[in-house]
Amino acid sequence: MPADAEGQALEIRGLSKSFGRFPALNDVSFAAADKEFLALLGPSGSGKTTLLRVLAGLEQPDAGEVRFRGEDYLAIPARRRRAGMVFQHYALFRHMTVAQNIGFGLKVRPRAERPSRDEIRRRVGELLSLVQLDGLDKRFPAQLSGGQRQRVALARALAIEPRMLLLDEPFGALDAQVRRDLRRWLRELHDRADVTTVFVTHDQEEALDIADRVAILKDGKLIQLGRPQELYDDPASAFVYEFLGAACRLPGMVEAGRLRIGDWTTAAPPGAPSGEVSVYFRPDEVGFGPDGLAAQVRTVSARGPDLRVTCVAEGERLELLARGALPDGVTAGGVARFVPARFQIYPRTA
């Protein structure tokens, strides 16, 4: 498939959509490469599902443009987009068997393009083994487990040989272990198919684990788009930082190139905002020692291989994680000193 001038298969420009007064999407623009696996990550109400439904053709945006593989995608009706969608609650056809569900997209094709009955049966069989559901073809959706339904929904979407695969929180209703297994499996499936995948989730771990790039949305706006490591290392805002994992926040002050938190000072990184700031760091990226920030230790407890140190510094309650032994004196009721190994500085708000 020829990508267009910028080498991007999917281009979204200025996409906006409101439901009544509620702006679900607000001027969203980004591009994705062909066969890229893109995750849309955001809290509920951030517009990620609306964006997915616009791509599927189930919603028309109020403004904006979507181009896919050189075509004006919005001008194509939903049924001709060949966008395979997996719905959050699977939306399996309840009165059809598994095989009928998977074969539906082939069976409803116009007569000229419709594969023969035998061909459909063969393709359904292939898809059943692809999603590891051999032998379940005569079951009804109600007779399947959540994970099995999810895989039927995926097989049904893949049956139309989609150019774009759209997944709306596909693992949302499954338990943690099944989620992790399906995640790797889904990624392998994507890599084998000629498809651009857009995956909606509110689970940051899932997004960072599975996607080539992650788009973070909030209140209908695109906040940041980047590869998982880029996002994790350099979150564009305090919101992104907090959303991507456990975060500790302390008030600080940047003056004359120095960052000061309480009685601890260090060189401010280049480009840091000045004045009153919020300093963010991950609870496991701290080093305990004789120097650094002073904190009143409340409790110390074991958490797997780590020690969890609950303490109060600068009036903020922190839960820090220490790997291995703690220095002497770091016990409940004592004072600990620690230095954040890596931190991010954002202007202080409210």
Partner 1 sequence: MTRIRLPGLAPLMLVLVIAIVGLLIVMPLGVVFAVAVSKGLSAYLAAFQDPDAQSAIWLTLQVAAISVPLNAVFGLAAAWAIAKFEFRGKSALMALIDLPFSMSPVVSGLVWVLLFGAQGWFGTWLEDHDIKVIFSTTGIVLATVTVTLPFVARELIPLMQDQGSDEEAAAVTLGAGGFTIFRKITLPNVKWALLYGVLLCNARAMGEFGAVSVVSGKIRGLTNTLPLHIEALYNDYDFVGAFSVASLLAGLGLVTLILKTVLEWRFSSELSVARRR
- Would you tell me which residues interact with partner 1 (CB under 8 A)? 56-58, 78-85, 87, 89, 91-95, 104-105, 108-109, 156-157, 159-160, 166
List the structure tokens of 275: 């004045």
Question: Considering beta carbons, is residue 101 or 204 the nearer one to partner 1?
Answer: 101
Question: Considering beta carbons, is residue 89 or 117 the nearer one to partner 1?
Answer: 89
φ, ψ at 265 (rounded to 5°):
-130, 155
Distance in Å, CB of 81 to partner 1, minimum: 7
φ, ψ at 296 (rounded to 5°):
-80, 120
SS3 for 296? strand
Length of the chain: 350
Question: Considering beta carbons, is residue 114 or 184 the nearer one to partner 1?
Answer: 114
Question: Considering beta carbons, is residue 56 or 293 the nearer one to partner 1?
Answer: 56
Question: Considering beta carbons, is residue 85 or 99 the nearer one to partner 1?
Answer: 85
Question: Considering beta carbons, is residue 78 or 253 the nearer one to partner 1?
Answer: 78
Distance in Å, CB of 55 to partner 1, minimum: 10
Distance in Å, CB of 120 to partner 1, minimum: 13
| End-to-end alpha carbon distance in the chain | 49
Distance in Å, CB of 214 to partner 1, minimum: 24
List the structure tokens of 236: 């564009």
Which 8-state DSSP code applies to residue 349? Answer: -
Spatial distance between the Cα atoms of 122 and 85, rounded to a whole number of angstroms:
22
Q: Map tokens 């080093």 to a residue.
A: 287
Spatial distance between the Cα atoms of 331 and 296, rounded to a whole number of angstroms:
9
Distance in Å, CB of 58 to partner 1, minimum: 5
Within 10 Å of residue 110's Cβ, how many Cβ atoms?
6
Question: Considering beta carbons, is residue 197 or 224 the nearer one to partner 1?
Answer: 197
List the structure tokens of 281: 């760091």
Question: Considering beta carbons, is residue 162 or 283 the nearer one to partner 1?
Answer: 162
Nearest to 220 by CA among 19, 11, 78: 19
Distance in Å, CB of 95 to partner 1, minimum: 5
Question: Considering beta carbons, is residue 9 or 166 the nearer one to partner 1?
Answer: 166
Spatial distance between the Cα atoms of 269 and 280, rounded to a whole number of angstroms:
13
Distance in Å, CB of 56 to partner 1, minimum: 5
Distance in Å, CB of 157 to partner 1, minimum: 8
Distance in Å, CB of 203 to partner 1, minimum: 21
Sign of the Cα torsion 220, 222, 223, 225 reads: positive
φ, ψ at 299 (rounded to 5°):
-140, 155
φ, ψ at 127 (rounded to 5°):
-65, -35
Nearest to 318 by CA among 291, 282, 289, 265: 282
Angle between helices 146-159 and 176-192 (to 10 degrees): 10
